[in-house]
Every structure is written in C-alpha cells, then in structure tokens.
Chains A and B, each alone.
Chain A
Amino acid sequence: MNYEFTEILETIRMTEIEHFDIRTVTLGISLRDCHDRSIEVTKQKIYDKIVRYGREHVKNAKEVEAQYGISIANKRVSVTPISIPFDSFKMEDFIEIAKTLDKAAEEIGIDYIAGFSALVQKGMTNGERELIKAIPYALSQTKRVCSSVNIGSTKAGINIDAVNMMAESIKLTAELTKDKDSIGCAKLVVFANAVEDNPFVAGAFHGVTEPEIVLNVGISGPGVVLEAIKEAGNVDLQQLAEVIKKTIFKITRAGELIGRKVAEKNGVPFGIVDISLAPTPAEGDSIADILKAMGVEDVGAPGTTAALAMLNDSVKKAGLMASSSVGGMSGAFIPVSEDMGMIRAVQAGNLSLEKLEAMTAVCSVGLDMIAIPGDTAASTIAGIIADEAAIGIINDKTTAVRIIPAFGKKVGDMVDYGGLLGLAPIMEVRTISSKGFVGRGGRIPAPMRSLTN
C-alpha cells in the first residue's frame, strides 16, 4: 500500500475527532468597476456582480468537502473596501450599499460578507468619513455585513482622529444593537497594518492590489495541535516545537489542497492559505487549551506570552514550508468569546485585559471578541485601540481590536451570541482616563525602523 496504516488513521482522526476543518473559503470579489453616478445603478451593479461570481460558491465548496472528507466551516465573500470605489457617496447611500451587500449575501447563501471598510491610516477622504459615520447604522440594519477600518500602519503611523471616530462608532453600534447584546460590534474590526488578502471574516476585505476575483483559504486546527502536544508528553521545548510544526505542516498541506480545488471548481485563481490557528467555541477546539497543554496552569499565568510566542512561531515556520502561498494573518488567534478555555480563564479571574494585550504582541491579530462594560467611555475605548495599534505599528505586524461595550451590561455579566461568535464574560476595564491623550487628536508619526530596542 502506498500509505501507511497509521498515516491514514491519523488523517481520519484529525478530521473526525479533533475538529480539523478548513475554517473558511473566502471568495474575494473586486467591486471597483461597480461605481455609477446613480446610487440605484451602483446597487444593481454590486448585487449582480456578487451574485454572478458567488452563485456557485457554497455548492462548489460543499462538493469539495465531500470529496476529501474535510469539512469547510464557513463559505464567505469579501469585497473591495466599499469606501474606495464609492467615495463620492454620502452616509445614507453607504447604508443602502450595506443593505445591498446583505441581500446579495443572502441570495448566494453565505452567512457573512466582509469589506464594508475604509483604509484611513494617514487621513480621510470625504467618502471615507461618510462611510465611517454609516457603519453603526449599516451594522444594525443588516445581518451579514462585516466592517473593518484600518487606522494605523508602520509606514503611516496612527491616525488618532480616526481612532476617536471609531471609538464613537463602536459605542453607537453597541447601542443600536442593544437588543441582541450589542452584536453589531462583533462585526466591526479596527485594524493597524491590515492585510489585503485576509480570508477571515469579520476583518476580511479584498485589497486594491488583488485581482478581479480570488479565492483565499483559512485553515484551523487547534484541536489537532492540542492532541499532538498531549501525545508528545513530557518533552523539552525544542521537541515540542517540532511536534507543533509537523502537525501544522500536515494541516496546511490539506488546506492548500482544499483551497486549490474549490478555486478550480469556481474557475477562479487561488490566492493564499492563511495558516492561522482559529478556535471555535466547541470543546477541545481552543488555543487556551493548547497553552495549558504546553504547561501553564491557566491562560494568564506568567509564561503564557512565551508559550504563545513559541506556538505562533512554530505555526508560521511549518506553514511556510508546507505551502508557497502563505498569506493573510497566519498566526494564532485569541478571541475570547470564541474559545471556551479563554472564557474560563476570564471567569476564574486569571486573564485580564492587560495580559491579553501583552499576548497580542506575539500572536496574530489582537484584542478580539472582548466584551467590556457598556458604560466604558469612548475615550477609554480609543485608548485601548491606540495601545493595540501601537503594538502593531512598532512590531510591524497586524493588530486589531474587536471590542464589544455591551450596552447595559456590567463586569460579571455575560453576552451570548451562540454559534461561532460564542459567548463572552464582561471583562474589567481600568477606569482611569485616556481622554487627555487621545483627545489631542492628530496622528502619531510613523515609527522608525532601526535602533529597534
């Protein structure tokens, strides 16, 4: 036989028992040719284009799932940052465009469409300002639309004016969706150094340097890594890194295969594999559990950041060896609400916002899916965003804030969204004020790239 008995059983075990799945296949569609002076014509063009390219997306992905026996958790679509092609429109028009995206997403049978976005790290055009104003209304009046705004980059610094606007946007979104535990905020990401080919919703968008259409894949397999670490037993850290790399290598290879096949079926070019470890609320599919298996008593214990750094680095090394198309975020995600281990660590009082922030300096993304008290001041949220963006621009990495000031909730309460978004305990935020700093406005200059100490 060409394959060893154990190899075949290993694959079966990964897919059937350890929750190895392809987290998302995301079809990136350019909307740059959809602009028209008339908003009605524009809406029709957007709708037609998404439906034309996306119609078979879900069906094709399902066929590939069956063929290889690896499930694809999400089939999604990302589009050109809406502020770019439609810069001439006003706030009301942008809300209409969001509704059109929502309708197109429903028509092709996907749960989220991302790209209601603006890139304002250096400054804002009129259209971008209008789009940011529209975000809270767009997110509260649609179900499937996700929004992201890039407010900083290593090359441009941090646009604190935009940070302040986003903090207000987040607060208003929370209020407008208060009936559903402020769920609108779960669909809104504030980025620094956003990447253009990220397949992971809510932060996905189809960058302006991307082709007309492309298919990107995000893989996910915390459960597989967890089992491999448990099986390795009491080995030293070099050997442990080896175990992680071997596992990630295999799942990246599978991810690339699935991505290429879905792209082939769709008749579109294949873009990248994002080799992120993304948890789900399912038991065992948790980054926190991996960190605990590596040896820390709970997430938040001293040593957690080092363990996470090693995990993240091993993931990247193995992924790069396994595929020549690595892109996107490519690292470990630590969203609180989507990871049962993280939730427990917060509830036990072991994991604070500050420790999470430190952890984001060494892993993918940032303060993700964190619920905070609804009465947190906008300036405090702006401070949190600025801190996180600073980590990003200084370390030349992507960071993001997806924070939920849950309307009317206090520390100790829970918000529960069900499904992949999971549930989150409200975390404590320091109440000392950031107002004097972020209130100055303006832009934090771009950092220097030498003397990096």
Chain B
Amino acid sequence: MNFTESDIRRITFETISELGPIATPDVVKEAVRKKVETSSTNPFEASKKDAVSGRVILTSFGLNKPGIVAAITTALGKANCDIQDLSQKIMGDFFTMIMIIDITSSQKDLKEIQEEMYKTAEPLNIKIYLQHEDVFRYMHRI
C-alpha cells in the first residue's frame, strides 16, 4: 500500500490528538510509523473476505434430450453443492429446470461453479444461469 503525503499528514494529526499531552516528536514519530505499518488506508482490503456463499438459483432451459438432469447434478455433486429444491417442466420440446442449491459447503466459489456449469451446458446445447438467491428475493418479495 502506497501512502500519499496527505495520508501520512492525516495519520500524524490523528495520532497527535489521540496522544494528547504526551505527544513529543519522538513519540509521535514512533506511533505514526506503527500505524502506517499495521493499518491500511485502502478501503477495499477490509471487505476482501466476502467470498460469495449461500443459496444460489440455477435455471436451465433448452431443447429436451436425455441426460440433461444427470449432467447437471453430476457436476453439482462433484462441486459438493447441496440441492435443496428442484422443479422441472416440459413445455412442448423444451425443458426448463430450476434448482435451489446451497454452495456453502462447496470447495468452489460461485464464480468457479458458474464456469463449471457453462462447461456442462455447452455440449448439451442448453442454457444454464446461476444467480445468487438475493436477486430473486429483492425483486419478488417485499
């Protein structure tokens, strides 16, 4: 993390006011050095841990053919995703399937699972979308 001149100045002023009457140049210098080493002014680093987890909705559709559900569930099983609900419909030649899956215990994150599913979808010539549950909750539930 690179500190700009203004950051250092800000930290110094903060330190002086924190230290109060005991602030001498040496004490302040030492305290500022410590702060610069340990803290980060980068606002992004604190939120890095936010790896995507929780429930995800998988929607797939395309021309019906044998083996679609098998292919999808196999891939999900390999990724250690827990299927919590499943609903499937055939309309004419088209099949649609919606699954609610929990990816909390998966060793992969949502992005990797999405890539996995795109790979699964391609040879079957179907579409698979994975979206975090929140988007549906926000849009359809008050």
Contact = CB atoms under 8 A, between A and B. Distances in A.
B139 interface: yes
A246 to B, nearest CB: 11
A160 B100 CA distance: 60
Interface in A1-49: 1-5, 7-12, 16, 33, 45, 48-49
B89 A5 contact: yes
Q: Which of A7, A68, A256, A264 has the most CB of B within 10 A?
A: A68
Interface string A42-74: 000100110011011000100100111110000
A267 interface: yes
A3 B136 contact: yes
B136 A8 contact: yes
Contacts of A250: 139-140
A165 interface: no
A16 B111 CA distance: 18
Contact of A56 (B44, B50, B96, B140): B44
Interface stretch (B12-20, B21-29, B68-76, B125-133): B125-133
Contacts of A264: 47, 50
B104 to A, nearest CB: 15
B50 A254 contact: no
Contacts of B98: 1, 3, 5, 8-9
A84 interface: no
B60 to A, nearest CB: 10
A71 to B, nearest CB: 12
A402 to B, nearest CB: 32
Given A67-B52, A68-B131, A268 B43 contact: yes
A266 interface: yes
Given A12-B59, A45-B4, A1 B42 contact: no
A254 B140 contact: no
From A48, A49, A55, A60, name the one whose CB has the most chain B CB atoms within 10 angstroms: A48
A310 interface: no
Given A3-B57, A11-B139, A266-B44, 11 more contacts: A3-B100, A5-B96, A7-B140, A8-B57, A45-B5, A45-B6, A69-B135, A70-B131, A254-B138, A256-B138, A257-B138
A219 to B, nearest CB: 12
B100 A2 contact: yes
B87 A1 contact: yes
B85 interface: yes
A264 B134 CA distance: 15
Nearest to A44: B4
B101 interface: no
B129 to A, nearest CB: 5
Contacts of B44: 55-56, 60, 265-267
A213 B43 CA distance: 10
Contacts of B114: 66
B110 interface: yes
A147 to B, nearest CB: 26
A262 to B, nearest CB: 11
Contacts of B47: 264-267
A8 B60 CA distance: 11
Contacts of B134: 68, 257
A4 B136 CA distance: 10
A68 B42 contact: no
A8 B129 CA distance: 11
B135 A257 contact: yes
Contact of B43 (A3, A16, A49, A266): A266
Contact of A8 (B52, B59, B132): B59
Contacts of B96: 5, 9
Interface in A336-358: none
B135 A11 contact: yes
A7 B139 CA distance: 9
Nearest to B56: A67
A52 B42 CA distance: 7
17 contacts: A1-B85, A1-B100, A3-B136, A7-B140, A8-B98, A8-B136, A11-B139, A16-B127, A16-B129, A52-B41, A67-B110, A69-B130, A250-B140, A257-B134, A257-B138, A266-B44, A267-B47
A292 interface: no
Interface in A241-285: 250-251, 253-254, 256-257, 264-268
B62 to A, nearest CB: 13
B103 to A, nearest CB: 11
Interface in B40-97: 41-47, 50, 52, 57, 59, 85, 87, 89, 96
A321 to B, nearest CB: 9
A429 B129 CA distance: 49
Given A7-B136, A8-B59, A66-B114, A53 B131 contact: no
A60 B4 CA distance: 23
Contacts of A1: 85, 87, 98, 100
Which among A10, A69, A250 has the highest number of chain B CB atoms within 10 Å? A69
A33 B57 CA distance: 45
B109 to A, nearest CB: 10
Contacts of A8: 57, 59, 98, 136
Report, nearest first, the 10 A-B pairs whose CB atoms are least far apart: A69-B131, A267-B43, A253-B138, A257-B138, A68-B135, A250-B139, A7-B140, A1-B85, A56-B44, A267-B47
